[in-house]
Amino acid sequence: QSVLTQPPSASGTPGQRVTISCSGSTSNIGSNTVNWYQQLPGTAPKLLIYSTNQRPSGVPDRFSGSKSGTSASLAISGLQSEDEADYYCAAWDDSLNGRKVFGGGTKLTVL
Amino acid sequence: QVQLVESGGGVVQPGRSLRLYCAASGFTFSSYGIHWVRQAPGKGLEWVALISYDGSNKYYADSVKGRFTISRDNSKNTLYLQMNSLRAEDTAVYYCAKEGLYDSSALDYWGQGTLVTVSS
């Protein structure tokens, strides 16, 4: 059972906009920044969003992040076939002497 | 360019120990906290541990507290994970990952991972 809750799957057709939700609590998302990671099959995770809504250099502006209260979202616009991957949200959690927590991951399928 | 290279994985019996290594290059290793994150076969990401830039602060997931020890040698640009009393549920690919420059909670570079299999 992950501390952050994500839907296990999401899907969309090329060109569509999809959103992936991430629900947490006051000790993590409610009081800290959110990160998002993309993991393509057989590869290491890649940072997609940091500081809740910032993109590292090289990440297309089709990807955007937001937060409201204890929930966060990742939006992908203009969906492309290469976006098919697993997506994870994460945040620092201030409980239990501090720990990083991840969501369970969302498998995005491009139909 | 930033590189993180894990090593030390392998097959180990339950109850035994194993030490993982993460060799860093391409950045000022002594300025950044480094994490270990693991991924069991077919499962999601699980955070394992964090060590601060100077080694003075360490944080652990409850699932490994008291069994695993994270450490670093800044003179060798190397991170370690000493894993004792290994259990079947510790079987996973173990990644080391570097803290971000602008957001220390973000992991901006990851290694390729090393597989640990705990089995009799």
pLDDT of residue A1 exceeding 90, the answer is no
How confident is the model at residue A96, as a pLDDT?
A: 78
* Whole-angstrom distance, CA of residue A70 vs CA of residue A61: 24
| Residue B36 to chain A, least CA–CA distance (Å) | 11
Per CB-CB distance under 8 Å, the chain B contacts of A105 are 44-45
Q: What is the rounded (10 degree) CA torsion for B103, B106, B111, B112?
A: -150
- For residue B116, the model assigns a pLDDT of 98
Is B47 within 8 Å of A46 when comparing Cβ atoms?
no
Could you please report the per-residue DSSP string of A22-82?
EE--TTTTTTS-EEEEEE-TTS--EEEEBTTTB--TT--TTEEEEEETTEEEEEE-S--GG
DSSP single-letter state for residue B101: S
Segment holding A85, helix H or strand E: strand A85-93
- Cβ atoms A37, B45 nearer than 8 A: yes
Q: What is the mean pLDDT of residues A4-17?
A: 97
pLDDT tens across the length of chain B (120 residues): 999 999 999 999 999 999 999 999 999 999 999 999 999 999 999 999 999 999 999 999 999 999 999 999 999 999 999 999 999 999 999 999 999 988 888 999 999 999 999 999
Which of B64, B105, B108, B110 best tests the A interface by mutation, with the highest count of A CBs <10 A? B105
pLDDT in tens, A18-76: 999 999 999 999 999 999 999 999 999 999 999 999 999 999 999 999 999 999 999 99
